[in-house]
Amino acid sequence: MKMIVVTGAAGFIGSCLVNKLNNKGIRDIVVVDDFSNPLKNKNLEHKMFLEQVHRDQFFDWIDSHHANVNFILHIGARTDTTEFDKKVFDKLNLNYSKSIWKGCVKYGIPLIYASSAATYGMGEFGYSDDHALVDKLKPLNPYGESKNEFDKWALKQEKKPVFWAGFKFFNVYGPNENHKGRMASVIWHAYKQISGTGKMKLFRSHNPLFEDGKQLRDFIYVKDVVDVLYYFMNQQPKSGIYNLGTGRARSFLDLAMATFRSMDRKPEVEFIDTPVDIRNKYQYFTEAKMEKLHEAGFEEPFYTLEEGIEEYVQEFLISGRSF
């Protein structure tokens, strides 16, 4: 029996990935997380898997079970961009990922891991997933730094897993993010705000090149993310670091209007000043360069922002169900 390991399996993207595997008939899954958050654990209800392993016990587990492991999908990470204790990220993101990489090298296991578009910082070098740019990037917070430090480390390793791919997730949204609170997607917050107050607050632009609400981000629906991960797990094209966005930046105003429409509410947007403490680090534009992913053979169309928001709101947020 060959098993697939998913770390961060109770989290947002990890639990959606487990569901994707289940929908493809895969049940021999080992889920790894800390399982301490009851709200987060709800994401694993009705999922089918073989075994649950606490993240602190995972390396002992892999030493004993590596012969039966077919693939590791390392999605788990501390993702809080407002956490500034670098030691937390060194432990849970950088060093944990290094240990997984070394285990995959030692035991001949292919690896997919989660990087982040937070590695791009202010975007001063653009948003290309060219490996030559990785050393130049200047992330804006310890979370982004931890992801970029691992990307840099991975590229420098002489010994690499038999296949490996790191994915720079852009602004992912969709079901199973209820536990994330303030770190949940803007769509989740929009739905909560509109439900509670009938209106949506957006940051005013403090950049003369952008109108209020016209700040741009690359928003990607979580179902598209897990489709790409599943494709790479099966096809194992060229190893390397890949962007994972839609390749099309959309405005926060577009997002707000789509959310109002999906809720059948009259749009009412209020603009508020961007807080002073984040104003000089605020990104006005992110957009993934996606050529490398297409060259790897992935050609499935992604959800548009409107399609993704409509499904997320109407099938998941209103009903309160998970994916």
Would you state the pLDDT for residue 216? 97
Q: Which two tokens stand for residue 61?
A: 């587990």
**Contact between 193 and 268 (Cβ < 8 Å):** no
Would you state the pLDDT for residue 169? 98
Antiparallel, parallel or unpaired: β 250-251 and 216-217: antiparallel
- Catalytic one among 86, 180, 201, 289? 180
Would you state the pLDDT for residue 155? 98
**Contact between 32 and 9 (Cβ < 8 Å):** yes
180 catalytic? Reply is yes
- Catalytic one among 96, 113, 120, 143? 143
24 catalytic? Reply is no
Would you state the pLDDT for residue 198? 97
Residues of the chain with pLDDT under 50: none
Q: What is the pLDDT of residues 65-95, one digit of tens each?
A: 999 999 999 999 987 777 777 887 878 899 9
Q: Which two tokens stand for residue 257?
A: 């209007």
Phi, psi for residue 198 in degrees, rounded to 5: 80, -5
Would you state the pLDDT for residue 278? 83
Antiparallel, parallel or unpaired: β 200-203 and 111-116: unpaired
If one counts every other C-beta atom within 10 angstroms of the C-beta of residue 181, the result is 11
If one counts every other C-beta atom within 10 angstroms of the C-beta of residue 122, the result is 16
**Contact between 288 and 218 (Cβ < 8 Å):** yes
* Assigned architecture for domain 3-173+219-247+287-303: 3-Layer(aba) Sandwich (3.40)
Q: Which residues are bridge partners to 271 per DSSP? A: 202
Q: What is the pLDDT of residues 228-267, one digit of tens each?
A: 999 999 999 999 999 999 999 999 999 999 999 999 999 9
Whether this model's pTM surpasses 0.95: yes
